[in-house]
Amino acid sequence: MTGALALQARRLLDGIDVASLGPRRVGRLVAFDGLMLEATGFGQPIGSAARIIDADGEPVRAEVVGFRGDRALLMALDSDRSHVCGARVEPDGLGGSAQVGEALLGRVIDAFGDPLDGQGPIGATHRWPLGGKLGNPLNRARVTEPFDMGVRSINALLTAGVGQRIALIAGSGVGKSVLMGQMIVGAEADVVVVGLVGERSREVTDFLETKLSGAIRQKSVVVAVPADHPPVLRLRAAMRATAIAEYFRAQGLRVLLMIDSLTRVAHAQREIGLSLGEPPTMKGYPPSALALIPRLVERAGVDARTGGSITSVYTVLADGDDLDDPIVDTARAIVDGHFVLSRSLAEQGVFPALDIGRSLSRVMADIVTDEHRAAASAFRRLWSVFEENRDLVLMGAYKEGSDPAIDEAIMRRREILDFLKQGQKERVDFITAEADLVEGFAP
């Protein structure tokens, strides 16, 4: 009997191609300071995934984020887990890619790609690199077609294009989430990918039930990582959402990607960078936090080979309504347009509270008609004239008849604000918004 078992074992071993497996590098945990793990003998590149066998024998997922001498620096992806000195550190080959495919539509997942919606396992069979695929810049096509957002003020005055990258800049409590919901419902997109990064857990549930309810849910993918998760997971959530969007773009589909918020992603990179010993620069942000923004944003756009596109909206939090914040300034410099929400308009009950004077779509001139462009310029002129003379008007220091331009701006102020207003569940398509603008404000 023993001889038969030995023969069977020998046959099994003979069937294994040991040479093709190659050596498997296994390290040992030697230091832990509460956030950063140090391992020896683990020569894996930065960004590689790892598993650490903790005190109770269960694997803890981690990611290589740097080196210190001959030691690899890792950050744990599972919080509140125990570690022991000398624990085994193993490579995890699938950690650097995202599970993608049609099976993701209608699902809510976490930073690992595991389902959060209780609808069972996800049967996606394809994989896509979390960091994206390096491409030729000449394969990125121009933005030449309007993208219908379903919001009158955006369609008419800040016309978005297919493949445009947009920064939605706002302070707290000025209607950012409501506007995102309006754009999701009103957008003409084949697939909607939403990354909820660093938000409160309650807001995730609220977003799903109020902004992604109904038929729109079936063509959406949500990646949610609340604020209480480790910084590496928050960073991975944004990368996973972008990777999913890239896969659908490669299939020739029109994708709307929303990351809420880009500021929280930068905050996560700041925590990682400072833990690695990077020097803090402007407002405590290390260089890696600011360099992350263009790397993430540049992955969106139009693919000239497949015809697919990623039109992306990144929310940016302006702390204290400071538009000169380093994150705000960096994002504004790399995107193709920025929409600024005004606290003053929100306090007046004007929603969406878009500050037309401070907002800009850099592709609008290439995708609208001359008549549309002229009407938008006339609207902006009325807006800027009133804003420049607001103090004089409110103090009563301006005398009617002194300047015809100011007189017209004052007389049509209510009409301008009414044009901006739109109900939360109301949708105004691009053709209607253009017609309303031309009819009311054409020079």
* Distance from the Cα of residue 56 to its chain's centroid: 36
- Domains of the chain are 21-91 (2.40.10.170), 97-367 (3.40.50.12240), 371-441 (1.20.1270.330)
How confident is the model over 279-324, as pLDDT tens digits? 998 888 999 999 999 999 999 999 999 999 999 999 999 877 788 8
Q: Which two tokens stand for residue 234?
A: 């928050």
Are 237 and 295 spatial neighbours (Cβ–Cβ below 8 Å)?
no
CB of 25 closer than 8 Å to CB of 43: yes
Phi/psi at 361 (nearest 5 deg)? -115, 115
Give the pairing type, strands 360-361 and 337-340: antiparallel
Q: With contact defined as beta carbons under 8 Å apart, do 91 and 36 qualify? A: no
Q: What is the pTM of this model?
A: 0.89
Which residues 6+ apart lie within 8 Å of 197 measured at CB?
A: 223, 225, 234, 237, 238, 259, 260, 261, 264, 265, 268
Mean pLDDT of 208-236: 91
Size of the chain, expressed as the number of residues it contains: 443
Asked whether the CA dihedral 235, 236, 239, 240 is positive or negative, the reply is: negative
pLDDT band, residue 25 (cuts 50/70/90): confident
Q: Which residues pair with 50 in a beta bridge?
A: 62, 91
Two structure tokens written together for 196: 């909820």
What integer pLDDT is reported at residue 15 of this predicted model? 47
Instruction: Please report the DSSP string for 358-408 in residue order.
Output: T-EETTHHHHS-HHHHHHHHHHHHHHHHHHHTHHHHHHT-PPTTS-HHHHH
CB of 243 closer than 8 Å to CB of 98: yes
Q: Is pLDDT above 80 for 430?
A: yes
Contact 310, 332 (CB under 8 A): no
The pLDDT assigned to 10 comes to: 57
Q: What tens digit of pLDDT does each residue of 92-147 get?
A: 876 678 899 999 999 999 998 999 998 999 887 899 999 898 888 899 999 999 99
Mapped onto helix, strand or coil, the DSSP state of residue 35 is coil
